[in-house]
């Protein structure tokens, strides 16, 4: 009986320590790309690095390719473990490039090349600043918001505030609680 009680107490202690680690490390779990070193990534032809400044003064590393006259711009928001460069490569390939689409994709605050620390409100401000920068660089060009994974939440939040011509969501999640449950099934709600 004592052995069983000791085993149960050990399990309870391990569960408590796991929850404490999850709580203390939640920012690293939510935004792993902000805590990972970033290796150089070649930029596609025609894409250049720019700076986007947010309303609250953060400076974001961003990539820009202007649209051809009369064409639209994809403003792309990356996932939590990603960065802008893969999106620049993707939207600089055909059929996007052949159709004349421009591109703006920015690293969230706290991610390599950007200042600050990632937060939910901060990422929304980053998204709004990216759209404003795209609109300023190509006045009148239609804007298509693209969001991958965590970026889908950013794209939806930005679309609520600044209606785009379209919203392209790739691998969105239905709720953060559900996403955590997929990776940590025994975590409390």
β-strand pairing of 59-65 with 143-148: unpaired
Report residues of the chain scoring pLDDT below 70. Answer: 22-25, 175-176, 178-180, 182-183, 189
- Predicted local distance difference test score (pLDDT) of residue 176: 64
- The CATH fold assigned to 31-183 is Rossmann fold (3.40.50)
Residue identified by tokens 């649209």 is: 67
User: For the purposes of burial, counting CB atoms within 10 Å of the CB of 47, is it exposed (0-12), middle (13-18) or buried (19 or more)?
Assistant: buried
* pTM (predicted TM-score): 0.87
Model confidence over 141-186: pLDDT tens digits? Answer: 999 999 999 999 999 999 999 877 899 999 887 766 766 676 677 7
Here the tokens at position 5 are: 């009680």
First to last CA, the chain: 32
Beta strands in the chain (DSSP E): 48-53, 59-65, 73-77, 102-106, 143-148, 166-170
């Amino acid at each position: 009986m004592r052995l069983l009680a000791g085993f149960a107490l050990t399990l309870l202690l391990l569960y408590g320590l796991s929850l404490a680690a999850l709580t203390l490390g939640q920012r690293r779990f939510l935004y792993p790309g902000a805590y990972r070193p970033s290796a150089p990534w070649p930029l596609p032809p025609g894409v250049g690095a720019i700076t986007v400044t947010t309303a609250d003064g953060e400076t974001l590393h961003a990539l820009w390719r202007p649209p051809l006259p009369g064409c639209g711009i994809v403003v792309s928001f990356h996932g939590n473990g990603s960065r802008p460069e893969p999106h620049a490569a993707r939207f600089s390939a055909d059929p996007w490039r052949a159709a004349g689409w421009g591109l703006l994709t920015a690293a969230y605050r706290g991610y390599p090349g950007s200042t600050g620390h990632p937060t939910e409100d901060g990422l929304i401000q980053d998204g709004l600043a990216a759209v404003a920068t795209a609109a300023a660089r190509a006045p009148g060009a239609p804007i298509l918001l693209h969001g991958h994974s965590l970026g889908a939440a950013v794209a939806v939040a930005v679309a609520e505030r600044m209606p785009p011509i379209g919203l392209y969501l790739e691998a969105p999640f239905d709720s953060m609680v559900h996403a955590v449950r997929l990776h940590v099934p025994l975590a409390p709600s």
